[in-house]
């Protein structure tokens, strides 16, 4: 039992020595390198930093001209009612042209067809309602009796 205590104490002592030696070497590696960096940086000039958006601006004087005409293709059809005058300065978002889109004859015809179809559906629904509200005729009763007899 005493032997085991001695071995345990000796092993613990050796372990403590290794931990202290490791801490000493690690301290030199981490903290020693920091001192070298400070010595290197101490010779450099210092400046104040300012955070800004990264943008490049260039100003040009003169008139912008194109060699060829530029085609503008619109998604809508219609009548051109406004066109910016030639030579006018345009800012971002300025209106260059305006198109009035009139209702075409084909669109009017399609709408008329939809109205006529809806009116026909209403007439059929009214007829079905009248048939449901009216009393059964003699022919309808005879037809129902024949169906029951066959079943």
CB distance 97 to 73 below 8 Å? no
In Å, the largest CA–CA distance within the chain is: 123
Residues 6+ apart with CB under 8 A from 136: 144
Looking at the predicted structure, is the pLDDT value of residue 113 above 90?
Answer: yes
Beta carbons within 8 Å of 101's beta carbon, 6+ residues apart: 76, 77, 78, 79
DSSP E strand stretches across the chain: 79-83, 97-100
pTM to 2 decimal places = 0.28
Residue spans of the domains in the chain: they are: 1-44, 105-150
| Token output for 49 | 């930093």
Q: 46-86, pLDDT tens digit by residue?
A: 777 788 877 777 887 887 776 676 677 777 777 788 888 88
Determine the pLDDT at residue 135: 87
């Amino acid at each position: 039992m005493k032997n085991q205590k001695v071995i345990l104490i000796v092993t613990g002592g050796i372990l403590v020595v290794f931990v202290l030696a490791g801490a000493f070497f690690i301290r030199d590696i981490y903290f020693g390198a920091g001192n070298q960096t400070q010595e290197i940086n101490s010779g450099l000039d210092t400046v104040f930093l300012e955070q800004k958006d990264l943008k490049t601006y260039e100003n040009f004087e003169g008139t912008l001209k194109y060699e060829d005409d530029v085609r503008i293709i619109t998604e809508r059809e219609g009548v051109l009612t406004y066109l910016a005058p030639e030579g006018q300065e345009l800012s971002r978002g300025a209106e260059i042209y305006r198109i009035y889109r009139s209702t075409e004859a084909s669109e009017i015809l399609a709408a008329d067809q939809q109205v006529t179809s809806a009116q026909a559906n209403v007439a059929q629904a009214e007829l079905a309602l009248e048939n449901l509200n009216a009393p059964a005729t003699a022919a309808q009763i005879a037809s129902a009796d024949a169906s029951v007899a066959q079943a």
